[in-house]
């Protein structure tokens, strides 16, 4: 490779936080995903294209793919896969050759639990020709990127009140004339798996038929159930919530490795999936913005913007670590990808139902004192305030970093003390967290899509136009005005704990019909 390298500043990473135990094995074979620039920028917000049109008009250029092929050939690497729609080129080769090709050194690191992974620090470098066309390089660093956002009760001596997902959907007045039929909901998972016996038993216990679930493998990952205390809990929570609140919907679960490469590849695979055609995605994994590279956040937001163009709604958990998002630096943080402008960020509440099953009370979820977490929420340090959030009175960040995109947009029951009854690997569990709110909203969107006869797609502008004070019908949301998540407090209207509030499905459907008309 020539010496006149171009540094890709957006690829810079800090040294992994875990112990370095050795240099990475140079003879190990692995893959790297390159994301190339678009043929043309995505169209203005509100423009709707089919997946085929999106690929044809805004995918990768043939000549840029040729540049990537030449780069690979010169570096002794193999081009394993090319997907113009996703703008991705997958390269395969020896770790030593890949490290040399991208001007970095790779080490082997060991986490506290004994897990070992490959990591790096600093930016990557490429040839000037490739630098002009590549927007992201993923796969050299395999550190775990995200965490599932579920919570189980930890506080001793507490029992709490638990619900089935359909009980919560009924309390939130999900549209009764729709069950999600004709809609596919995609779920992103970065580990774990499900067993068909769990699904059969769980839905039978609810008096429902188990939904049609398809597992889609990404980057070598598969449906791999392990144990009820690991990622299986996240997988089963997501499927069982979506499947029970939108029992007519089909479900496609995209399994990928828990790396920035795997996470991004899973989302782009789902967005451009012309086989399953998901019109809604549910994501219950994330990490504080400060733990991501610039290139990863840029490419993830671009993927979510592409989803919006294709008419896909993406519901994302806002995190379970309160206003610090679980970080220990004393600063306020928000969770990503919930903070991406094209995500529907889902915060958490503590919900109490009456004997008749109606909402009796609802406040901000904050069980920090009991060790049971709190809803994420706050102000992005990366993304500016979107135009549709301009009237929400987003506050200045509690860290003093100015005003940015406010998180979350909406909310729903998340407190493990008022959690959801689910079945995981044959074990009954009560689980909460904003991990439950993302699939809860995804199921609602599926029912709205069916009832409206069209995909609502990127629904944030419509929701803010409906739900803010002075909007077309603020009663479409249960406004949460009591509680806090640490640095931010609930208030009338939008707030950085529960967004616009929890849904009132029938009213929201009527308001969206008016917006569509």
Which of 477, 498, 478 lies closest to 414 in space, CA to CA? 498
Of 64, 97, 198, 238, the catalytic one is 238
Distance CA 510, CA 288 (A): 36
Q: Which helix (H) or strand (E) holds 185?
A: strand 184-189
Q: Which of 83, 245, 255, 180 is nearest to 455 (CA)?
A: 180
DSSP letter string over 303-357? HHHHHHHTT-EEEEE--SBGGGTT-SSSS---EETTTSTTSEEEEEEEEEE-TTS
Please spell the DSSP secondary structure of 428-490, one letter per residue.
EEEEESHHHHHHHHHHHHHHHHHHHTS---S-HHHHHHHHSTTSS-GGGEE---S-BSSS-B-
Q: What is the CA radius of gyration of the chain?
A: 22
Strand-pair category, 410-413 with 420-424? unpaired
DSSP codes of every residue in 476-502: GEE---S-BSSS-B--SS-BTTTBT-E
489 is catalytic: no
129 is catalytic: no
Distance separating alpha carbons of residues 493 and 478, to the nearest angstrom:
10
Contacts of residue 34, defined as CB under 8 A and 6 or more positions apart, other chains included, come to 68, 88, 89, 90, 91, 134, 136, 137
Indicate if the alpha-carbon torsion angle 475, 478, 482, 485 is positive or negative: negative
Q: Which of 83, 142, 219, 234 is catalytic?
A: 234
- Is 238 catalytic? The answer is yes
Scanning the structure block, which residue is given the tokens 């769980």?
202
435, 455, 479, 495: the active-site residue: 435
What residues are annotated to the active site? Answer: 234, 238, 435
């Amino acid at each position: 490779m020539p010496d006149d390298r171009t540094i890709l500043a957006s690829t810079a990473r800090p040294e992994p936080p875990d112990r370095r135990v050795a240099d990475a094995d140079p003879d190990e074979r692995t893959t790297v995903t390159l994301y190339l620039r678009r043929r043309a920028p995505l169209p203005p917000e509100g423009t709707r294209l089919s997946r085929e049109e999106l690929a044809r008009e805004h995918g990768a250029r043939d000549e840029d793919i040729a540049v990537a092929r030449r780069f690979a050939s010169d570096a002794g690497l193999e081009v394993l896969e090319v997907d113009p729609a996703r703008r991705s080129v997958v390269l395969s080769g020896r770790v030593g050759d890949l490290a040399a090709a991208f001007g970095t050194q790779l080490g082997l690191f060991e986490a506290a639990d004994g897990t070992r992974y490959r990591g790096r620090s600093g930016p990557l470098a490429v040839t000037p020709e490739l630098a002009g066309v590549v927007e992201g390089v993923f796969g050299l660093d395999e550190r775990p990127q995200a965490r599932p956002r579920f919570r189980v009760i930890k506080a001793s001596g507490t029992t709490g009140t638990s619900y089935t997902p359909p009980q919560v959907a009924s309390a939130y007045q999900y549209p009764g004339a729709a069950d999600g039929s004709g809609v596919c909901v995609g779920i992103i998972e970065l580990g774990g798996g499900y067993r068909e016996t769990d699904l059969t038993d769980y839905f039978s216990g609810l008096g429902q038929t188990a939904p049609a679930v398809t597992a889609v493998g990404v980057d070598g990952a598969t449906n791999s159930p392990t144990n009820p205390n690991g990622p299986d809990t996240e997988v089963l929570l997501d499927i069982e919530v979506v499947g029970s609140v939108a029992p007519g919907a089909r479900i496609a679960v995209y399994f990928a490795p828990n790396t920035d490469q795997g996470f991004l590849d899973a989302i782009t695979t789902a967005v451009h999936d012309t086989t399953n055609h998901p019109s809604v995605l549910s994501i219950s994994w994330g990490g504080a913005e400060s733990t991501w590279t610039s290139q990863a956040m840029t490419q993830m937001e671009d993927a979510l913007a592409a989803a919006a163009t294709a008419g896909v709604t993406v519901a994302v958990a806002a995190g379970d670590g309160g206003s610090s998002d679980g970080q220990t630096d004393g600063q306020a943080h928000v969770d990503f990808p919930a903070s991406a402008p094209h995500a529907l960020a889902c915060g958490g509440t503590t919900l109490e139902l009456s004997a008749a099953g109606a909402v009796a009370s609802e406040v901000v979820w904050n069980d920090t004192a009991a060790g049971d977490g709190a809803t994420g929420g706050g102000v992005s340090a990366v993304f500016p305030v979107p135009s549709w959030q301009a009237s929400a009175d987003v506050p200045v960040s509690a860290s003093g970093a100015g005003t940015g995109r406010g998180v979350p947009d909406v909310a729903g029951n998340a407190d493990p003390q008022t959690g959801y009854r689910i079945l995981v690997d044959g074990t009954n569990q009560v689980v909460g967290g904003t991990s439950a709110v993302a699939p809860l909203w995804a199921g609602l969107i599926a029912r709205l899509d069916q009832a409206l006869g069209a995909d609502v797609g990127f629904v944030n502008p419509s929701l803010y136009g409906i739900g803010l004070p002075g909007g077309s019908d603020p009663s479409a949301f249960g406004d949460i005005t009591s509680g806090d998540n640490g640095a931010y407090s609930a208030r009338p209207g939008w707030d950085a704990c529960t967004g616009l509030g929890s849904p009132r499905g029938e009213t929201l459907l009527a308001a969206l019909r008016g917006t569509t008309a």
